[in-house]
Amino acid sequence: FKRGQTFLKRASSKALGKRVDRDVVKLVVKEDPASSSLKKRKRKKKPLALHPYTQQLVRFWEHLGLRPVAAQLFVPLPNIGKATQADVIVEDVRDGKLWMHEIKTGWVGVTNTKGTFAGELSHVKYSKGAAWDLQRHYTAQGLIAAGLPIQGSRVVHIYEDTKKGILVEYRPIIFGSTDHHHHKKETVCV
């Protein structure tokens, strides 16, 4: 990189991704009033603040009429002998239908390709965005096979653009399909 070059989009880290995951869990889990951690926080009188990425994610869901109802669900993938977790299940407040969102934080070159996938997917160019979508696809298939009536699924990408602020948007679907209601590109900025 040339001296003085600045980045317009900020990268993520595992710690940031885990922080947003924990925040999303807090949104759907009601804490037991008798729990010791809640009592300690009440004494300090400081609620645990949501990360700015999570705050923007909540705005994104509200904009679309969605609310989180479950997070970090264990999902067996019997066809490949593995398991994963669904980041969040959201409910459409208008019709009660459920959707799965795979949450990804920070900027990476999502469209940069490096060869192809292996095996039966060797015809598909590999990119970070395609890998994310493949994860979404398998997780959604596992949820459906387990009996959860989800209508569809999307990868939700949160990143910071130094000029536009924190952006939340749907990534394109590469593997399988989902309902047309969620096909349109949605972006929400701070």
**Segment holding 42, helix H or strand E:** helix 36-44
Rounded to an integer, the average pLDDT of 71-90 is 91
Q: Is the pLDDT of residue 190 over 50?
A: no
pTM above 0.85, yes or no: no
Q: Position of tokens 């598909």? A: 124
* pLDDT tier for residue 22 given thresholds of 50, 70 and 90: very high
Please give the residue that has the higher pLDDT: either 109 or 41.
Answer: 109
Q: Is the pLDDT of residue 9 over 70?
A: no
**Segment holding 136, helix H or strand E:** helix 128-145
